Every structure is written in C-alpha cells, then in structure tokens.
Amino acid sequence: MQEIVPGLWDVGELKSIVPVHAYLWRWAQGVTIIDTGTPGNEAILLAGVKALGLQPSDVKRIIITHGDVDHTGSLKALKRATGAQVICHTVEKEFLDYPQRRKPAKTALGLLMRPIFALAMQFPPYRVAPLSPDRTHVDGDKLPEGFTIVHTPGHTPGHISLLHPEKRFLIAGDALHNRGGKLGAPPALFTPDMENAHGSIWKLAKKYGNDFDVAVFGHGPPIRERAGEALTALVAQLFEAEAKP
C-alpha cells in the first residue's frame, strides 16, 4: 500500500485476471473506499484500513466508479463488514442491482465474447452479488469527502471520475488507463460507446485539466505530476486521429 498524496492510499493491484487498483481516502469523518476489486478482495481492503490505524466501522462510504466485476466484486462483503454507505452514479445503479446486465461491446469480438463472459460470471472469482446503492449522484455533485462527481460515460453509461480540487488529484476509474506507462482510452472490448468515452476524456481535459496535478487509475500506475498536461496531450492525439479522413 502506498500513499499517492496526503490521505489518498493506493491499496495496490488486487487479485484479478487483470490487475486492478482500489483506493482509500482518509478524511475528517473516517475513511472512504473507492472501488472494491473482484470477489474475495475484501480482506485486503480491510487490512489496508487497519494499516491506517482504523477499524471497519471507520469506513463511512464506499464509492463505486462503475459496475464492472473488477470494481464491484467485493462490494457486498465490504458493506456487510463495515456498514458503510454505498454510492454510485444514478445511471450506474442498474449494474449494481443487476450485475449480469454488464456485457462486452457490440463488436464482432464482443458479441463472440458475450457467452464466455456470462459463463465466467457464474464462477465464484467473478460472481458479483447484487447490492443496491444507498445513494446515487449525478454530474457536478459535491461529496463530503471533498470530491466533485464527474460523469464520464462511455466505458459504462454511469461511469464516474472523482475530482478533488482542493488536493488537486483525479481518480479516473476506467475512463482512462495508464498501462505500460502510456495514458490511453479504456479498452474497446468492454467499452460499448467509444465515441462517448472519447468525449469523456475531452471533458476531463478541457473542463478540469487545470484542476489536478495527480491522477490515479483503475489500471496502471499513478501519474504523480503534470497529469492534466498528459491528459491534454492525449486529447490532442485522439481527436487528431478522429479528424483524419
């Protein structure tokens, strides 16, 4: 576990077929967990809470960036252990209530993968228990942790990123990834609306790019400085490519 900025802790790459990050944000009222990994990662996250000198009862809220199995898998177990309030975007509530509705994109490969994906979700490592959120939010809502909700659809319809303007960091979820040291858009196979995903990246850069220096991701290491500039460069690359005939 490593501290990215004061108060924001990266629990590390949780066990999953694709390594995924979850985060702890320590604030005045306790601690908030951001995303939960695949099923079976609750002990790792609770150990992270304990490492901060806190107890499960100090977990006040669990924020879900989006309803993928590698971000919601341990949610129900953590809810049971902590009693924390669960929140997500209003549109994403469907995937927390009905996890089986999340499917690969409607591409040739995605359609081929759908039955395989559905079968995999029947096995314990990827079987997500439904859990309805306690509260839902929309774009621009302010949370008591200091976060501003930024609706970043595309990867999923109700995907959110979390901006902390005071501490100047962004939790991007899967709106972006930083695999191999290269900032990029989410994977097409699991992004049903890539055009909207690119639009969300544009929104993060153009509307909020001057409001953060540090960015963390669901997949890949953090960018610890000049993250807004890196995002602006990505937008120039994406939209230059789209403008070509």
Write the pLDDT tens digit of every residue in 185-203: 999 888 999 999 999 999 9
Give the position of tokens 């290491």: 221
* pLDDT for position 12: 83
DSSP string over 159-181:
-EEEEETTTTEEE-TTSSB-GGG
In tens, the pLDDT along 165-180 reads 999 999 999 999 998 8
The CATH number of domain 2-243 is 3.60.15.10: yes
CB contact set of 174 (below 8 Å; sequence gap of 6+): 65, 66, 68, 71, 155, 156, 159, 186, 217, 218, 219
Strands (E), 80-237: 85-89, 135-137, 148-151, 160-164, 169-171, 214-216
Report whether pLDDT(242) > 70.
no
Give the pair of three-digit tokens for residue 10: 């990266």
* Angle subtended by helix axes 75-82 and 42-51, to nearest 10: 40
Q: What is the pTM of this model?
A: 0.93
CA angle 111–114–120, rounded 5-degree value: 160
Percent of the chain with pLDDT over 90: 78
Whole-number Å distance between alpha carbons of 88 and 149? 9
Who has greater pLDDT, 108 or 182? 182
The model's confidence at residue 29, banded by pLDDT at 50, 70 and 90, is very high
Question: For 87-143, what is each residue's pLDDT tens digit?
Answer: 999 999 999 999 988 877 777 776 777 777 777 777 777 788 999 999 999 999 999
Instruction: Let me know how long the chain is.
Output: 245
Q: What is the pLDDT of residues 13-24, one digit of tens each?
A: 787 777 899 999
